[in-house]
């Protein structure tokens, strides 16, 4: 059992004692209660729903009455212990009450059509003089959008957007009420008993057996005592994310990068330990986690800790068993290979294969990224190292092929990025800590964090998306030739990734609008600077692909102001697909007086989306 479990247990016992103490010490005065009876007149006209629906209402409690007319009936007014025609009706219980809802037959020729999701409440408006309108009935229409929808306007015999709106039905009238899905909804969901760390932008989100999980770790800037907390897993419930596991027996504390296994059976994590700008870096490990029912079976891959910046999985030696490569930016143990290679034994263990790469290919350290991919289309995977060196030169790509007879890798190709490096406005951790993150570039410019191979322009050849120096797309021309193209230099306003001080760390490939083009959604993070932004412009995170040419959403409604976010600033925000729509989720803290506690900030959008899968 870890310390984390024990503080959790102590907290639980403390809470139970507090409850027991409360019930044994307090003496409660009985609170008077009252009854509420409702009647529909006539009974066939409709019914009245009561909320809350309890037999006895405590004194001073609020009750809501909502009339629900049957077809061809309209609610008219309240009688008895209530008056007027307000709906829904809020009353305060100060005595027993009997309230009647009066319904009248709907005998006017008004047709209401609904577009989107919602209803229209009809109310007959009586003449203040008591006289009926001479030329028909005047009806007041109130659009009632379903949750997550909003009223967009009237069409037909009514126009505009006014609500409620009156219509004189002196002949047959046809009205359309248009509802539109809200551009976004913000949900703040508590994470109960989460370990006291900040959470990583590269947390693993996955869906399994209809349950949503996140495996997360620590990002810690300065505090060694909080630096090596174990990974934990949370599961999404309706109102809370619940901590399901604290993985104390797994020697990881952060998820610097991860890759989902291509058959969907698990994931691989590369970690370099907590992010410390001024302290000795603790280094960390490579692991593979495999799903087993609702649980995870962990396989330790690395023998020694290193500064693992990325991990790749795939079969490197064509024996049918998954292998692992870890990109490292320095190591304690003098393992100079770039990257570190581990061949799978097929039984959940791995064999370290150092010195199988030509030495010195990246002087000063290896790549920020590594990948296992069939680069030349000969059905055998190559090992790829991207970016690199402690001096962070322009992005370069190095490709090694496995030679089965020598059991070594040989250099196959070296591709230099001819695109000039962006000015490194953001290249220090201390700048990031101060929130001085460039609005136009990513962090440090050159050191890649994420890469993916997808056919972006649908010419049958997989292209590379590389996060380095902004987002760079490398279009595959065949014959191992790639043409790089920086996404923010397309002649359009695609350059400013972030509103104010958000920086990018990685991206996700998602089919926005389900039109069979893979699109790119960048992840933003603040690296622990939650107070440096005025809002988040979702449009600037989303790159919409049309056959290899990219553009952005246009509606300004996709800007989330700090007020809309409830003055909560996610440490990171990344895209997921939930129930067929694009969502953004990220960890944050909320402080409502009881001290800060961890929340998951979730932004639900109206953008249809699905994950983009391509077999490798």
Residues forming the site for Ca ion (CB under 5 A)? 315, 317, 319, 321, 323, 374, 376, 378, 380, 382, 455, 457, 459, 461, 463, 511-512, 515, 517, 519
Smaller CB separation from Ca ion, 382 or 467 = 382
Smaller CB separation from Ca ion, 201 or 494 = 494
Among 276, 317, 324, residue whose Cα is nearest residue 302: 324
Smaller CB separation from Ca ion, 126 or 457 = 457
Q: How far is CA 221 from CA 204, 235, 279, 542, in A?
A: 21, 26, 9, 29
Q: How far is the CB of 420 from Ca ion (least distance, A)?
A: 24
Q: How far is the CB of 296 from Ca ion (least distance, A)?
A: 22
Helix (H) or strand (E) holding 432: helix 429-434
For 575, list phi and psi in degrees, rounded to 5.
-85, 140
Q: Please answer whether residues 451 and 434 qualify as being in contact, where contact means their C-beta atoms are separated by less than 8 angstroms.
A: no
Eight-class DSSP state of 10: H
Among 554, 541, 551, 489, residue whose Cα is nearest residue 515: 551
Q: How far is the CB of 284 from Ca ion (least distance, A)?
A: 24
Q: How far is the CB of 438 from Ca ion (least distance, A)?
A: 28
How is the chain split among helix, strand and coil, in percent rounded to 5?
5, 45, 45
Q: How far is the CB of 281 from Ca ion (least distance, A)?
A: 30
Smaller CB separation from Ca ion, 141 or 487 = 487
Encoding tokens for residue 31?
């609170």
Smaller CB separation from Ca ion, 240 or 457 = 457
Helix (H) or strand (E) holding 33: strand 33-34
Sign of CA dihedral 349, 353, 357, 359: positive
Listed as own residue / partner, the contacts of 168-173 with beta carbons closer than 8 Å and 24 or more positions apart are 168/133, 168/135, 168/136, 168/137, 168/138, 169/108, 169/109, 169/110, 169/136, 169/137, 169/138, 169/139, 170/135, 170/136, 171/109, 171/136, 172/109, 172/110, 172/111, 173/109, 173/110, 173/111
Other CB atoms within 10 A of residue 449 CB? 24
Q: Please answer whether residues 140 and 175 qualify as being in contact, where contact means their C-beta atoms are separated by less than 8 angstroms.
A: no
* Coil vs helix vs strand at 558: helix
Q: Which residue is nearest to Ca ion (CB)?
A: 517
Q: How far is the CB of 342 from Ca ion (least distance, A)?
A: 10
Smaller CB separation from Ca ion, 121 or 455 = 455
Q: How far is the CB of 487 from Ca ion (least distance, A)?
A: 15
Encoding tokens for residue 535?
């809002």
Q: How far is the CB of 515 from Ca ion (least distance, A)?
A: 5
Smaller CB separation from Ca ion, 157 or 303 = 303
Q: How far is the CB of 121 from Ca ion (least distance, A)?
A: 38
Smaller CB separation from Ca ion, 336 or 548 = 548
Smaller CB separation from Ca ion, 177 or 494 = 494
Cα distance between residue 445 and residue 15, in whole Å = 48
Encoding tokens for residue 303?
């023998």
Smaller CB separation from Ca ion, 227 or 510 = 510
Q: How far is the CB of 408 from Ca ion (least distance, A)?
A: 15
Q: How far is the CB of 290 from Ca ion (least distance, A)?
A: 16
165-181 in b/e form (b: 16+ CB < 10 A) is bebebeeebebbbbbbb
Q: How far is the CB of 354 from Ca ion (least distance, A)?
A: 16
Residue 338: which residues within 8 A CB-CB, separation 6 or more? 327, 328, 357, 361, 362, 365, 366, 367, 385, 388
The C-alpha torsion from 491 through 497 and 503 to 507, rounded to 10°, is -100
Smaller CB separation from Ca ion, 361 or 463 = 463
Instruction: State how beta strands 173-181 and 110-115 pair.
Output: parallel
| Three state DSSP letters for 226-263 | HCCCCEEEEEECCCEEEEEEEECCCCCCCCCEEEECCC
Beta bridge partners of 315: none
Q: How far is the CB of 203 from Ca ion (least distance, A)?
A: 25
Half-sphere exposure of 296 (CA within 13 A, CB side): 26
Smaller CB separation from Ca ion, 23 or 406 = 406
Q: How far is the CB of 492 from Ca ion (least distance, A)?
A: 17
Beta bridge partners of 110: 173
Smaller CB separation from Ca ion, 259 or 382 = 382
Q: How far is the CB of 605 from Ca ion (least distance, A)?
A: 14
Q: How far is the CB of 54 from Ca ion (least distance, A)?
A: 49
Smaller CB separation from Ca ion, 157 or 455 = 455
Eight-class DSSP state of 171: S
Encoding tokens for residue 231?
């990974």
Smaller CB separation from Ca ion, 294 or 515 = 515
Helix (H) or strand (E) holding 3: helix 3-25
Smaller CB separation from Ca ion, 300 or 461 = 461
Q: How far is CA 36 from CA 44, 55, 93, in A?
A: 21, 8, 8
């Amino acid at each position: 059992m870890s310390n984390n479990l024990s503080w959790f247990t102590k907290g639980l016992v403390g809470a139970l004692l507090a409850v027991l103490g409360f019930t044994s010490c307090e003496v409660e005065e009985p609170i008077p209660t009252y009854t509420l009876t409702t009647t529909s007149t006539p009974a066939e006209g409709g019914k009245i729903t009561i909320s809350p629906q309890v037999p006895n209402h405590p004194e001073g409690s609020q009750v809501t009455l909502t009339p629900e007319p049957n077809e061809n009936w309209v609610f008219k007014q309240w009688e008895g212990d209530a008056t007027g025609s307000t709906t829904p009706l809020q009353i305060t219980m100060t005595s027993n009450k009997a309230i009647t809802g009066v319904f009248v037959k709907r005998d006017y020729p008004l047709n209401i059509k609904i577009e989107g999701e919602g209803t229209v409440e009809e109310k007959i408006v009586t003449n203040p003089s008591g006289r009926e309108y001479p030329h028909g009935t005047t009806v007041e229409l109130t659009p009632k959008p379903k949750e997550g929808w909003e009223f967009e306007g009237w069409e037909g015999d009514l126009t505009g957007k006014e609500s409620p709106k009156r219509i004189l039905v002196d002949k047959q009238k046809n009205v359309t009420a248009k509802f539109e899905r809200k551009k976004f909804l913000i949900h703040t969901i508590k994470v109960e008993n989460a370990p006291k760390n900040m959470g990583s932008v590269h947390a693993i989100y996955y869906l399994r057996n209809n349950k949503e999980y996140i495996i997360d770790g620590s990002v810690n800037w300065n505090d060694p005592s909080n630096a090596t907390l174990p990974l934990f897993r949370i599961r999404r419930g309706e109102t809370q994310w619940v901590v399901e596991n604290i993985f104390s027996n797994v020697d990881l504390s952060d998820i610097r990068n991860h890759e989902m296994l291509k058959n969907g059976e698990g994931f691989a994590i590369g970690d370099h330990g907590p992010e410390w700008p001024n302290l000795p870096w603790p280094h960390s490990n490579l692991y593979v986690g495999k799903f087993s029912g609702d649980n995870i079976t962990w396989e330790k891959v690395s023998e020694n800790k290193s500064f693992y910046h990325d991990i790749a999985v795939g079969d490197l030696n064509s024996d049918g068993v998954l292998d692992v490569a870890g990109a490292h930016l320095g190591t304690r143990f003098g393992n100079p290979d770039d990257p570190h290679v581990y061949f799978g034994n097929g039984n959940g263990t791995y064999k370290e294969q150092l010195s199988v790469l030509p030495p010195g290919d990246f002087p000063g350290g290896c790549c920020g990224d590594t990948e296992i991919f069939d680069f030349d289309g000969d059905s055998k995977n190559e090992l790829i190292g991207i970016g690199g060196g402690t001096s962070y030169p322009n992005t370069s790509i190095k490709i090694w092929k496995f030679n089965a007879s020598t059991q070594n890798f040989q250099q196959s190709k070296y591709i230099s990025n001819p695109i000039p490096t962006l000015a490194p406005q953001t290249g220090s951790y201390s700048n990031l800590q101060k929130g001085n993150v460039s609005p136009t570039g990513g962090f440090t410019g050159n050191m890649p964090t994420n890469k993916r191979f997808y056919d972006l322009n649908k010419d049958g050849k997989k292209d590379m998306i590389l996060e380095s120096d902004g987002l760079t797309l490398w279009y595959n021309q065949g014959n191992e030739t790639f043409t790089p193209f920086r996404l923010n230099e397309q002649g359009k306003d695609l350059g400013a990734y972030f509103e104010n001080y958000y920086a990018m760390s990685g991206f996700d490939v998602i089919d926005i609008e389900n039109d069979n083009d893979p699109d790119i959604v960048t992840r933003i993070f603040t690296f622990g600077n939650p107070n440096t932004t005025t809002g988040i412009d979702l449009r600037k995170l989303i790159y919409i692909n049309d056959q290899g040419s990219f553009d952005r959403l246009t509606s300004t409604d996709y800007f989330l102001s700090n007020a809309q976010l409830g003055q909560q600033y996610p440490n990171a925000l990344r895209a997921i697909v939930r129930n067929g729509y694009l969502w953004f989720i990220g960890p944050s803290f909320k402080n409502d007086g009881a001290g800060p506690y961890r929340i998951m900030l979730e932004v639900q959008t109206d953008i249809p989306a699905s994950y983009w899968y391509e077999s490798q």
